[in-house]
Homo-oligomer: A and B are copies of this chain.
């Protein structure tokens, strides 16, 4: 019998390729799209029984997307799908993503930034490098404080578990207003005003969709404590960029920990801000690197390959992208 063909459209280093091959090489023909000459790409995509992709918008030309009509699964290796051109894929081809794929490293990164803000780590390190030794400027304890987690999927729950361990109360916000996780309160965006007013820390871990874009604007920021810490490890567009900049310049004790930006290399081909956030002392800036923890890209590749294997051996796919996650 002919082996099914799995096309891999991300470049992938040796480790990533090995992870895919460990799962699929015995049962499939693995074709690395990047290794093909330009004229070989179309037929490879047309013969693909499945596609493994990291960044669909970059790896395939718009007209190549339609050639995937024979695929039984298009498997993305990301936890967010907002930047994938889903509406340009052949209708009826199932698309899967990896919800919570980077939950643990994202959670540690979020906690790292929250603690760095509470302890003034970056500010005082800069001061010391300028010759100042400010031993007695008060910093803050997380223990006993309250954290609002907006978006309570894999990353949100993992972040909650760590912050709860550090002694914080957790108020979670999700679509259902329900959770099996251990929290002090769970609600929906309708509870946002009440929750944000009581929060010392707010962490954004929700997907960017047409419903969540601009969720945090000047009104929502005005609800927050003057010295609160806001962490964005989801997508820049969840926050109104201009509103956040204005808030940060007006409230010098408010800290924004920005790991996810509005215009970023992976999604936009460049990094750029419309306001000079990087000149502000009350910003902790990270280059969207929370999922770059060593070994985790290979882990995601393996998990994606396993879902492909499942489908190509007659199983039903996991992690299917539902219509409510479509952004464009």
Contact = CB atoms under 8 A, between A and B. Distances in A.
Interface of A: 104-105, 108-109, 111-113, 115-116, 118-122, 124-125, 127-129, 132-143, 162, 165-166, 264-266, 271, 278-279, 284-290, 292-296
Contacts of A116: 112, 115-116, 121
Given A141-B294, A293-B141, A287 B104 contact: no
A128 B285 contact: yes
A278 B122 CA distance: 13
B115 A111 contact: yes
Contacts of A284: 121, 125
B104 A143 contact: yes
Contact of A294 (B139, B143, B288, B294): B139
Name which of A127, A129, A139, A295 has the most chain B CB atoms within 10 A of its CB. A139
Contact of A125 (B104, B286, B296): B286
A108 B118 contact: yes
B122 A125 contact: yes
Contacts of A279: 129
A286 B141 contact: no
17 contacts: A108-B119, A111-B115, A112-B112, A113-B119, A115-B116, A119-B289, A121-B122, A122-B125, A127-B287, A128-B278, A128-B286, A133-B288, A135-B266, A135-B288, A135-B289, A136-B289, A141-B296
Copy number of this protein in the oligomer? 2
Contacts of A285: 124-125, 128-129
A178 to B, nearest CB: 26
Given A112-B115, A135-B287, A135-B292, 5 more contacts: A124-B286, A125-B285, A134-B287, A139-B293, A141-B293
Contacts of A288: 133, 135
B119 A109 contact: yes
Contacts of A105: 139, 141
Nearest to A277: B128
A139 B128 CA distance: 25
Contacts of A109: 119, 139
A121 B119 contact: no
A118 B124 contact: no
Contacts of A266: 135
Contacts of A143: 104, 108
Contacts of A265: 133, 135
A133 B286 CA distance: 8
Contacts of A115: 108, 111-112, 115-116
A112 to B, nearest CB: 4
A295 B139 CA distance: 10
Contact of A289 (B122, B134, B271): B134
